[in-house]
Amino acid sequence: MQLTRHDIARMMDLSAVRPDSGPPAVHALAETAKRYRSVLTSTLPSYTPLLVELLADEPDIGVGGNVAFPTGAELPDVKVAQTQQLVWLGVTEIDVMFDLGMFLAGKLQYVEDDLRGVVDAADGLPVKVIVECHYLTDDQIRTASEMCVRIGAAFVKTGTGWAPSGATLENIALIKRTVGDAIAIKASGGVRGLETLLELHRRGATRFGIGLGREKPIFDRLDELGGTVALA
């Protein structure tokens, strides 16, 4: 199987979600997404209206809405309200951070009900649940992934990009073994080069969270290889 530059761009969620990612970064994000034709863009909630406006004439480039990012510790009603507002603003997907502290404390039903509220509020839009694998054991990753399937999420996502690590070959493979084809996997956090992206894809990831500026080395390497790579 051959992957082209376009194929890779259509698996890439470009983001500007650092604390200093203000309007200049959002403008740069929109221009970068147009240049490479990435499948999705996302920024911090207060800048989402600007990003939606900048991409209004680009129907094939989605805008993601980040809910409870990056801690997951907002009250359930706040998460629901934030999701509803982002949907009203025109986002096309939702990425929600689960309540890591509650999960680690064993409050699994609380976490599941909390996430189900977001899925319901998303009104049919795909929801990616960020489980922040860096802080979880293998058994906890399995439990979190199974929870994502039960609530009807579209993706398990490995991290916010704010933890010391995010997507690894091991945790992507573990999630894939756990969920099979019941849910998709987004590798996020630490996806720094084309070779890493391809190996994560081989292990089961089909979407990749890439911070603004990290996309260029990936596409530069792809250009060095003639614009296509074999996924074998």
pLDDT digits (tens, 9 = 90+) for 78-96: 999 999 999 999 999 999 9
> Looking at residue 75, what is its pLDDT?
98
Instruction: Give, for 161, the enclosing helix (H) or strand (E).
Output: none
Question: Per-domain residue ranges for the chain?
Answer: 2-230
The verdict on whether 95 is a catalytic residue reads yes
- Active-site position among 95, 99, 114, 128: 95
| CA distances to 15, 29, 36, 68, 205 from 26, in Å | 9, 5, 15, 19, 26
Distance CA 123, CA 120 (A): 6
Whether the per-residue pLDDT at 1 is higher than 90: the answer is: no
The DSSP result for 94-129, as a single string, is EEEE--HHHHHTT-HHHHHHHHHHHHHHTTT--EEE
The first and second tokens of residue 213, run together, are: 């500026």
**Which pLDDT band, with edges at 50, 70 and 90, does 172 fall under?**
very high
What's the CATH number for 2-230?
Answer: 3.20.20.70
Distance CA 39, CA 59 (A): 10
Q: What percentage of the chain exceeds 70 in pLDDT?
A: 100
The verdict on whether 186 is a catalytic residue reads yes
> Looking at residue 164, what is its pLDDT?
86
20: amino acid identity, one letter: D
Q: Which has the closest alpha carbon to 131: 120, 123, 121, 149?
A: 149
pLDDT digits (tens, 9 = 90+) for 12-58: 999 999 999 999 999 999 999 999 999 999 999 999 999 999 999 99
- Active-site position among 13, 79, 128, 186: 186
> Looking at residue 190, what is its pLDDT?
87
**Which pLDDT band, with edges at 50, 70 and 90, does 231 fall under?**
confident
The verdict on whether 107 is a catalytic residue reads no
Whether the per-residue pLDDT at 230 is higher than 90: the answer is: no
Q: How many CA atoms lie within 13 A of 107 on its CB side?
A: 12
- Active-site position among 79, 99, 114, 157: 157
Are residues 181 and 160 in contact, defined by beta-carbon separation less than 8 angstroms? no
Please, what's the largest Cα pairwise distance for the chain? Answer: 50
Whole-model pTM: value is 0.95
> Looking at residue 114, what is its pLDDT?
98
The first and second tokens of residue 51, run together, are: 């990003």
